[in-house]
A = this chain, B = another copy of it.
Amino acid sequence: MTILNGKPVYQRITNDIKNKIHKGEMKPSDLLPSENTLAQAYDTSRVTVRKSLQLLEHDGYIYSWPGKGYFVSQPRHDVFTFVYNELGSMHNIDYKEITVIMPDEKIQNAMNLLSQQQVIRLCRVIKQDNEPVALDYKYLLYDKGTPLVEVEMRYAAFPEIVAEKATPFAFHTRMEISAEIANENLMKKLRCTENTALLLIKRYFIDQHDKCIGYGETYTLPAYGCICAQSGYEKD
């Protein structure tokens, strides 16, 4: 009785309202029927109706105004999402070097380091069909206490390396995407000409105390591909 056509009641309500919004039958800033009205219309309880409306609210279709009611939102088309898996799976990796260095000013600023603080630098070249497609640098804090060097030797991807030093939920990543012309070092390692535009991805790994515990730079050749992001509202 509660579940009809294999669909829970709250999903039927959610879908009905979502469809009306998609079709334009309900437009941004329109007022929805009240919880009690919907409960009567669907012959169900207020709790069930609220579950539907909270799903829609969470997905950005509607918002609630206590004392007034629910309204259709202004849609946002400026929020984009993408998945960035570190290059590596499905590719050959040429491990190039792992060194403990005294970082230059650029890295010191990026990681907000004290001077005299050493860092571990990992450099990798990613290959596809035996051609280099990307150059990847990673920088990690070097504390003499822990034998980090051995850890890195596993060629782990960046979030996993960092997660060893912080609990896995306790850090976040900031990414900066830009374009850069290949310099001599990049030309040599990526076997490209001097007129090559590279996609540069910088990543800052920040722990819960706002401390930068890892920094990475990845230079990618145009041939390899691009970052592909999505925005918008999906039907059903």
Contacts and interface: CB of A to CB of B under 8 A. Distances in A.
Contact of A172 (B168, B194, B234): B234
Contacts of A163: 75, 77
**A: contact size bracket:** 35 or more
Contacts of A229: 82, 174-177
Interface of A is mostly: mixed
Given A21-B169, A170-B22, A227-B177, A195 B198 contact: no
Interface in A146-182: 159, 163, 167-181
A194 B58 CA distance: 47
Give the number of times this chain occurs in the complex, counting copies.
2
Given A168-B28, A169-B21, A179 B176 contact: no
Contacts of A125: none
A109 interface: no
19 contacts: A23-B167, A23-B170, A24-B170, A47-B47, A78-B85, A79-B83, A80-B175, A82-B229, A172-B231, A172-B232, A173-B231, A176-B226, A176-B229, A177-B199, A177-B229, A179-B198, A179-B199, A181-B181, A208-B235
